[in-house]
């Protein structure tokens, strides 16, 4: 018998049995479907968290970055002396430096007058520290006292939803100080900050009058063309004080993602949710497969008496679990697509359905069903043709 | 004529903890090609155990069982599976797969060796079902058939591979008088046409006259009558 026939006949029997017992099949498919949705949502939220956590650093333009050694993540930085950033100019490869100030501030919703917390970035507006063309156009106006630009990706409770320009400037308050929103941009929010505001260094200190001007949160360095990035980073690490870290662009982004993955319990929670979803699905599929085998013991024993080998029955159960995985995954994928869309439009979480994610969930679903099948196969040992007569 | 099955001094006992429960004591029996032998005896006399031993469903360790020229005592699983594939079984219950039609159930017996193509298998299965009088019921599932019809499907399944030997255990006990007689008559006629040996275990006095020979097993001891 060829390998194809070896798999084809048991698979066909599995398909016919699934087709015959609609109710049981439907219950099993719904179990897999449910598990699929759970896993898709957990992975979607997790990826959205990591993606949005790094949404600000991803848009930075520098070559090397300076942060305080004690800083864990960018939403709650420790400051370090601005002089430490200036010292890097002594290195022949460093062409330009830009200090960035960051802080969480209250922002008053201009319509409801409710205050919500968002992240304020203060830097030289025409320095192009962020890759944001909208800000480049506003560079001059942001230098005006008490003016700021607002991130349109922010959550709707801040009350700014219309692009400026063409919309008119909006009057509101940041940290109880009268402010005009003169422009908008799109950066992206994170779990730590529901919104973002960009402004000049001078305005930043108007919003945060208690912050010292010589204590900065982030230092951005631009190297001369053809400078060796790795060598410069090594040199700076030697030269600078131990209270600052010198990071490359990739290290800065990874540092931010790793914080949420490892230091915060959130990564664990989503991982735990994923596993629970798979366990629930596995128990349901196992129950169905197990009762199915128990109900067919005498028919299966007859097959063995006819000369079928034990491996044939194993392949029937294996094929059944693979079919259940596929049948449950398809509606699982479709409903998750709808839920992802809902999440993106209603709660503004970036939740793209990537091919990689779909394949990951399919692989997990398949593994889950095959594991249930393997567990259920222990019941096949009870099939003994000698008990048939 | 060389016997198809030759059993000599077969002893078999069930083990229950430390106790040995002898089931078969010094049983010797020869079955010749084309012969229909009925084995009767009170329940618990070891008839069913005897059937499973010569069918290669259970292995013995003392005495000799030669089936189709192969020694089954202390044999390998592969040799017992080879015997199973040349034997047709009919059980007390029909044991048809509920998800498959009558035709598919019978065709499953043909998928094992040299499967050929689906059309050939279905043609053979349909011929055999027609031979047991179910030519009009090919696409019915077991739940749509009567008890007698189901047992006739399982007879067709046992015969479709043209086995050298049929082993049947109380094939009529779950059937009413008429369909039981009908099933055994068809089995008898088909076996006579093809020269198949049948060993049939039964309590059923009504079907004894189908046999060429009747043997009785009483408390593990075989008596020819």
Give B77-123 pLDDT, tens digit per residue.
888 888 888 898 888 888 888 899 999 999 988 888 766 788 888 99
Inspect the interface and report whether the beta carbons of B108 and A303 lie closer than 8 Å.
yes
Tell me: the pLDDT tens digits for A281-339? 888 888 888 888 888 888 888 888 888 888 899 999 999 999 999 999 999 999 999 99
Res A259: pLDDT: 82
Which of B54, B80, B84 is the best mutation test for A, with the most CBs of A within 10 A?
B84
Res A318: pLDDT: 92
Question: Could you give the CA distance from residue B51 to residue A198 in angstroms, rounded to a whole number?
Answer: 89
Among the residue ranges A89-98, A262-271, B64-73, B136-145, the one predicted with the least confidence is A262-271
Taking contacts as CB-CB distances below 8 angstroms, the residues of chain A near B167 are 389
Taking contacts as CB-CB distances below 8 angstroms, the residues of chain A near B201 are 389
Pairing of strands B213-218, B36-40: parallel
Res A98: pLDDT: 94
Per-residue pLDDT band at A1 (split at 50, 70, 90): low
Res B114: pLDDT: 65
Q: Which burial class, exposed, middle or buried, applies to B98 when counting CB atoms under 10 A from its CB (0-12, 13-18, 19+)? A: middle
**B99 close contact with A: CB closer than 8 A:** yes
* Residue B195: DSSP 8-state: T
Question: Could you give the CA distance from residue B127 to residue B162 in angstroms, rounded to a whole number?
Answer: 12
- Cβ neighbors of A132 (< 8 A, separation 6 or more) are A59, A185, A186, A187, A198
Question: Could you give the CA distance from residue B142 to residue B156 in angstroms, rounded to a whole number?
Answer: 13
Tell me: the pLDDT tens digits for B28-40? 899 988 888 999 8
pTM of the model: 0.74
A202 within 8 A of A124, measured Cβ to Cβ = no
**B108 close contact with A: CB closer than 8 A:** yes
pLDDT at B181 over 90: no
Res A389: pLDDT: 61
Res A210: pLDDT: 92
Rank A91-95, A262-266, B221-225 by mean pLDDT and report only the highest.
A91-95
pLDDT at A352 over 60: yes
Calculate ∠ Cα A248-A251-A255, nearest 5°.
140
Nearest CA in chain B to A298: B95
Res B92: pLDDT: 81
Res B135: pLDDT: 86
Question: Could you give the CA distance from residue A28 to residue A31 in angstroms, rounded to a whole number?
Answer: 5
Tokens of B73: 């005592």
B52, B57, B81 ranked by CB distance to A309: nearest? B81
- Mean pLDDT across the stretch A360-364? 92
* Residue B68: DSSP 8-state: T
pLDDT at A170 over 70: yes
Nearest CA in chain A to B87: A306
B82, B91, B98 ranked by CB distance to A388: nearest? B91
Q: Chain-wide mean pLDDT for chain A?
A: 88
Nearest CA in chain A to B53: A386
Per-residue pLDDT band at A205 (split at 50, 70, 90): very high
- Interface confidence (ipTM) of the complex: 0.86
Inspect the interface and report whether the beta carbons of B95 and A17 lie closer than 8 Å.
no
pLDDT at A28 over 60: yes
Of all residues in chain A, the percent with pLDDT exceeding 70 is 98
């Amino acid at each position: 018998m060829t390998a194809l026939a070896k798999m084809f006949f048991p698979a066909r029997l599995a398909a016919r049995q699934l087709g015959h017992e609609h109710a049981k099949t439907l219950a099993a498919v719904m179990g897999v479907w449910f598990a699929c949705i759970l896993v898709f949502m957990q992975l979607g939220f997790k990826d959205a968290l990591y993606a949005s956590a790094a949404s600000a650093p991803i848009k930075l333009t520098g070559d090397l970055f300076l942060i305080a050694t004690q800083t864990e993540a960018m939403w709650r930085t420790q400051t370090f002396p601005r002089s430490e950033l200036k010292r890097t100019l002594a290195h022949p490869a460093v062409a330009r430096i830009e200090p960035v100030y960051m802080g969480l501030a209250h922002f008053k919703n201009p319509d409801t007058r409710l205050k919500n917390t968002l992240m304020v970035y203060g830097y030289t507006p025409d320095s192009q520290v962020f890759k944001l063309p909208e800000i480049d156009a506003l560079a001059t106006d942001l230098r005006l006292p008490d003016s700021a630009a607002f991130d349109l990706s922010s959550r709707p409770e801040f009350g700014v939803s219309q692009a400026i320009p063409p919309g008119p400037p909006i009057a509101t308050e940041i940290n109880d100080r009268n402010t005009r929103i003169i422009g908008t941009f799109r950066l992206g929010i994170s779990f730590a900050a529901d919104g973002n505001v960009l402004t000049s260094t001078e305005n930043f200190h108007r919003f945060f009058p208690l912050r010292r001007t010589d204590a900065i949160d982030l230092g951005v360095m631009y190297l001369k063309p053809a400078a060796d990035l790795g060598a410069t980073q090594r040199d700076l690490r030697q030269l600078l004080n131990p209270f600052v870290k010198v990071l490359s662009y990739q290290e800065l982004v990874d540092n931010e993602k790793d914080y949420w993955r490892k230091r915060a319990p959130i990564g664990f929670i989503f991982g735990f949710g994923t596993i629970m979803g798979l366990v629930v699905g596995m128990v349901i599929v196992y129950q169905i497969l197990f009762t199915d085998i128990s109900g067919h013991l005498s028919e299966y024993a007859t097959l063995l008496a006819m000369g079928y080998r034990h491996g044939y029955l194993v392949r029937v159960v294996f094929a059944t679990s693979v079919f259940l995985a596929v049948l449950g995954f398809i509606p699982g994928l479709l409903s998750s697509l709808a839920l992802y869309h809902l999440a993106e439009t209603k709660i503004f979480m970036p939740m793209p359905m990537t091919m990689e994610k779909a394949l990951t969930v399919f692989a997990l679903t398949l593994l889950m069903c095959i594991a249930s099948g393997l567990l259920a196969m222990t019941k096949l040992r009870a099939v003994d043709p000698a008990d048939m007569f | 004529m060389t016997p198809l099955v030759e059993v000599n001094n077969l002893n078999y006992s069930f083990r229950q903890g430390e106790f040995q429960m002898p089931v078969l004591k010094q049983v010797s029996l020869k079955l010749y090609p084309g012969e229909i032998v009925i084995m009767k005896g009170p329940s618990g006399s070891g008839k069913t155990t005897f059937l499973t031993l010569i069918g290669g469903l259970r292995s013995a360790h003392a005495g000799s069982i030669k089936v189709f020229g192969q020694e089954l005592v202390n044999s390998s699983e592969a040799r017992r599976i080879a015997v199973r594939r040349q034997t047709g079984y009919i059980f007390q219950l029909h044991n048809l797969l509920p998800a498959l039609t009558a035709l598919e159930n019978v065709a499953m017996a043909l998928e094992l060796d040299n499967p050929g193509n689906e059309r050939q298998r279905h043609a053979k299965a349909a011929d055999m079902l027609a031979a047991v009088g179910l030519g009009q019921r090919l696409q019915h599932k077991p739940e749509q058939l009567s008890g007698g019809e189901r047992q006739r499907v399982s007879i067709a399944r046992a015969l479709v591979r043209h086995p050298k030997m049929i082993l049947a255990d109380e094939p009529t006990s779950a059937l009413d008088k008429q369909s039981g007689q009908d099933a055994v008559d068809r089995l008898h006629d088909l076996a006579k046409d093809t020269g198949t040996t049948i060993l049939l275990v039964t309590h059923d006095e009504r079907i004894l006259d189908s046999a060429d020979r009747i043997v009785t097993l009483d408390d593990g001891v075989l008596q020819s009558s």
